[in-house]
Amino acid sequence: MEAILVVDDDPGFRKLLEAILSGQGYQVQTAGSVREAVRLGATRRFQLVLCDLRLPDGDGLSVLRRFNEMAPATPFVMITAFGTVATAVEAMKLGAVDFLEKPLRSPEELRQLVRRVLSTPAAQPEPAGGANFACPPLIAHDPAMREVLELARKVAPTNATVLLMGESGTGKEILARCIHQNSRRADSVFLALNCAALAPTLTESALFGHEKGAFTGAIAQHQGVFERAHGGTLFLDEVGELDGNSQAKLLRVLQDRTFERLGGTRQIQVDVRLIAATNRDLKKMVEEGKFRQDLYYRLNAFPLEIPPLRQRPADIIPLAEHFLARASAALGKQTPVLSAGARQALLAYSWPGNVRELENMMERVAILSEGEVQVENLPLPPGEPSERPARWKEIEKEAILEALRRHGGNRTRAAQELGISLRTLQYRLKQYGINR
């Protein structure tokens, strides 16, 4: 019989969890402080720990760290409330396998979570580094992107709602699919819906479906994406574009897991893992009264921000080569090689369209180029990039120094290799204080 430790400073909530779990046949012990939890953990072995973030003599992270030392194989679930998202993310980094939102929506929510954690080996804490996170479509050499993937690896096996934030073209849907593929729902359906592409009059029907005759043109019953995604994962892209009525109904589904079709009265219960995405500042929209605060907190249970391409320069060339090779293979052509100058030009560009823009550019290059790709073969807009990554200056300076070394200080040849004019090279030498 599995032993479970419940740690919470609220006696009423502690007793509620104990009653629900004891009713399922589990042996339950409780603690109201960090000190008491650590003492119990040192005296016996638990198969699961449920621990609140806020405790009178510390926090749940302290308990998690001690259990990592005493019993590293013990699954740890953090109990969180609104306003504790950042700490919940930190808990996932430290090895928590899931988190439970407070207040409890229903006893069944707790029962399902405990059954899932205790029956799934994948829920055990995994070593850092992302080795067990399979995500072939994503290329991540840059530390900024590797950190995002590490967090995605942590949250994937859980049932937590994930909010992906980032500019258009950064790969939010690809990351959402990777999270699904590494979740316990991997064998079930993954559905994606772009909320920005929906007409306001059709949004509710697209999300929740409609009954025959619900409106003019509704000639048959229709299932919405929530119903069709039952048992799997639903990805709502551009969720910030939802109107107020749809926001209210989405909140209800997240809270109660039930909804009615448009024009219907029957309650439909669903089990859907939600991943939402936006390129807008939802927090600012809440402050402006354009987005529901309660829905924002539900969606923001586990936030992941994907950096724009200009802030992950180490990924630019690997991505370019990947897209170039893929496009060339589709055309039945030999893959062109990016010259040193072309590489530097790609690194210098600000990529306002992010990864999607780079992919489209490499497809065009694959069509038009033969052999080595020169700067003039790149369909880059003229002029200086509007925004350079913070690490760009060191990258560019080192490239210039290396070119000058290879050509014995000959500026004309170095400029030709870099794919820039002699005048531009001289300007850069002055800018970086290089006297050669």
**Which pLDDT score is estimated for 128?**
34
Going along the chain from its start, the domains and CATH numbers come out as 3-123 (3.40.50.2300), 143-307 (3.40.50.300), 310-432 (1.10.8.60)
Q: Of all residues in the chain, what percent carry a pLDDT higher than 90?
A: 46
Residue 291 pLDDT exceeds 60: yes
Torsion sign, CA atoms 84, 88, 89, 93: positive
CA-based angle 184:272:28, to the nearest 5? 65
**Which pLDDT score is estimated for 293?**
95
DSSP run (H or E) holding 29: strand 27-31
- Read off the DSSP letter of residue 275: E
Overall average pLDDT of the 222-246 stretch: 93
With tokens 């009423």, the residue in question is: 12
Q: Residue 419's pLDDT band (boundaries 50, 70, 90)? A: low
Q: Pairing between strand 98-101 and 76-80?
A: parallel
**Which pLDDT score is estimated for 222?**
87
**Which pLDDT score is estimated for 119?**
77
Identify whether the C-beta of residue 67 lies closer than 8 Å to the C-beta of residue 41.
yes
Q: Of all residues in the chain, what percent carry a pLDDT higher than 70?
A: 89
Rounded to the nearest integer, the mean pLDDT of the chain is 85
Please indicate whether residue 91 or residue 16 has the higher confidence score (pLDDT): 16
Residue 207 pLDDT exceeds 70: yes
Read off the pLDDT of residues 171-189 as tens digits, 9 standing for 90 and up.
999 999 999 999 989 999 9
Please indicate whether residue 95 or residue 42 has the higher confidence score (pLDDT): 42
Q: Residue 121's pLDDT band (boundaries 50, 70, 90)? A: low
Residue 428 pLDDT exceeds 90: no
Residue 122 pLDDT exceeds 60: no
**Which pLDDT score is estimated for 200?**
77
Read off the pLDDT of residues 361-411 as tens digits, 9 standing for 90 and up.
999 999 998 888 988 889 887 654 444 444 556 666 777 888 888 888 888
- Read off the DSSP letter of residue 262: B
